[in-house]
Amino acid sequence: MSTKKLRNIKYHLLVCDGKSCRESGSDKVAKRIKETVKDIEKQNEVLMTRTSCTDQCSKGPIVIVYPEGVWYCEVTPKIAAQIVSKHVSDEEVLERKVLVLLTENQ
Ligand code: FES
């Protein structure tokens, strides 16, 4: 990705790609995020990165969304699509799947 494109990024989605999350379906989650992002108006504002273990293995697959610092847990492909269509597109946090909201105490 060019630096110019990187400067347009407003949402960074981190998909845990550690062993436990992979075993519970993180690859399908990451694929669904990529597919769904292509369908939204903000597609040029979203970057998805796979990470190593985020140390919440029993709650995986984990997806973290910045700038809000929302940690989503037990993310299925269906929830992954909703993270893109609701959280990113409509700026509406999916409360029922939030593990931690890091910016809550700021
Ligand atoms: S493998 Fe995802 S939290 Fe550990």
The tokens describing 43, both together, are 């597609």
Residue 71's domain comprises 9-93
If residue 81 lies in a helix (H) or strand (E), which one and from where to where? helix 77-82
In a domain, 75, yes or no: yes
The tokens describing 80, both together, are 């992954």
Predicted confidence (pLDDT) per residue in 10-42, tens digit: 999 999 999 999 999 999 999 999 999 999 999
pLDDT exceeds 90 at position 56: yes
The pTM of the whole model exceeds 0.75: yes
In a domain, 25, yes or no: yes
8 Å CB contact between 74 and 97:
yes
In a domain, 104, yes or no: no
CB burial of residue 73 (10 Å; 0-12, 13-18, 19+): middle
Per-residue confidence (pLDDT) for residue 105, from 0 to 100? 60
In a domain, 102, yes or no: no
pLDDT exceeds 80 at position 103: no
Q: Which residues line ligand 1 (CB under 6 A)?
A: 16, 18-21, 53-57, 60, 62
Pocket test for ligand 1, best of 27, 57, 73 (most atoms within 8 A of CB): 57
Per-residue confidence (pLDDT) for residue 100, from 0 to 100? 87
Pocket test for ligand 1, best of 15, 20, 59, 71 (most atoms within 8 A of CB): 20
More confident residue, 105 or 68: 68
Residue of 5, 6, 27 whose CA lies nearest to 16? 27
Q: Kindly report the average pLDDT of the chain as a whole number.
A: 95
In a domain, 98, yes or no: no
CATH of the domain at 18: 3.40.30.10
- Give the number of domains in the chain: 1
In a domain, 39, yes or no: yes
Q: Backbone phi, then psi, for 47, in 5-degree steps?
A: -125, 130
More confident residue, 77 or 104: 77
Q: What is the mean pLDDT of residues 75-99?
A: 96
